[in-house]
Structure 1
């Protein structure tokens, strides 16, 4: 069992981390603004699912293999970067709906969820973050290390999902407001696509 002092310290650090705008936040805001709150929340859920994957990988040591192999790290990094840029180019190239008032979602929530999962899983920086961050709050005297890692990962996932939901709801309302103006809507896809491309370039340039 994790002691209360460690738990409070960890929760405080994670809260500060997840509510500071980063790639996950930008991805969620981009989807919510262009496709609505539901799609934004689905994107946040996909990111959370990806974080569950990274928690498990950190627990069983796969992330350590990625950390030790420069080649494997680079391969995964560039695959993730290419995927993000691909999503960005598609968003930029998509045509504006003829009837903006129709209220159709740009993409289904399920598709947004799957894309977010894949994007998060293919980010080796996230894998290394979990590998380096979680063990700092593990204390052998507090019991089974694997269970402590699982608990810490679960807390991170829940708090991360809560933050993306907050951003998704806020951005979704903004997107509804902006969609009433067709001239703004014509640029919306390009802005969203630009965000995805920028995230892809950022990932490609990241160092271990």
Structure 2
């Protein structure tokens, strides 16, 4: 039986992976702002397929890294942390005229599927997010925990999607997002930098404990 703490951490990581602003977040809110909640819901339902694929690979990587030893996990956490910081810095440098555009307005479901499965940033971001949240429990992970962690992650994805669909359709949110899209993008940068720094610190502390 997988520890409840591990399952809760996995659910939280999946939830934060989806609701943390990024390319799909910006696309969803722009689409919902211009076309309404229904179009946004179709987009996010299609994107769920990609979330499940990348989330499952991230969980598998964490379990596999634990079986192969903590050094590999620490290296993964450090590399992914640097990548998140890089994405965060780029988001903070977004130009004022770089407003997000409406994509997938005509076929939101198909666009969401394609967006979720083909975004090259999805896997490293998912791995970094899961690494940052699940790191305190990495030593307890076993291969047998993977199926229950997949289920917990899927529940986290569903809760996050419901949150986004509800929020994106609110009139005040639609108006705010169309007016302040660049500010939202820069907030994304801060969040990514925070999670990246957390992943780097955890990896560094693990390495220092082994050399002490």
Q: Give the TM interval when normalised to the shorter protein.
A: 0.5 to 0.7
SS at match of 1:96: coil
Q: Aligned partners of 2:200 and 2:156: how far apart in 1? A: 25
List alignment gaps of at least 5 residues for structure 2.
Answer: 29-43, 207-212
TM-score normalised by structure 1 residue count: 0.63
Aligned to 1:117: 123
Aligned to 2:68: 62
Aligned to 1:133: 140
Q: Is 1:186 matched up with 2:182?
A: yes
Deviation at 1:163, TM superposition (A): 1.1
Counterpart mapping for 1:1-208 below 5 A: 7=1, 10=2, 12-19=4-11, 21-22=12-13, 24-30=14-20, 31=22, 33-36=25-28, 37-38=44-45, 41=48, 42-43=50-51, 45-58=53-66, 61-66=67-72, 73=74, 75-92=75-92, 93=94, 95-97=98-100, 103=105, 108-112=115-119, 114-121=120-127, 131-135=138-142, 149-150=143-144, 152-177=145-170, 178-181=173-176, 182-206=178-202, 207-208=205-206
Deviation at 1:156, TM superposition (A): 0.9
Deviation at 1:127, TM superposition (A): 8.3
SS at match of 2:87: helix
SS at match of 1:108: helix
- With over 3 angstroms needed to count, the CA separation of the structure-2 counterparts of 1:15 and 1:78, relative to structure 1, is closer
- With over 3 angstroms needed to count, the CA separation of the structure-2 counterparts of 1:117 and 1:57, relative to structure 1, is same
Deviation at 1:96, TM superposition (A): 0.8
RMSD over aligned Cα, in angstroms? 3.6
Deviation at 1:166, TM superposition (A): 1.3
Deviation at 1:15, TM superposition (A): 4.2
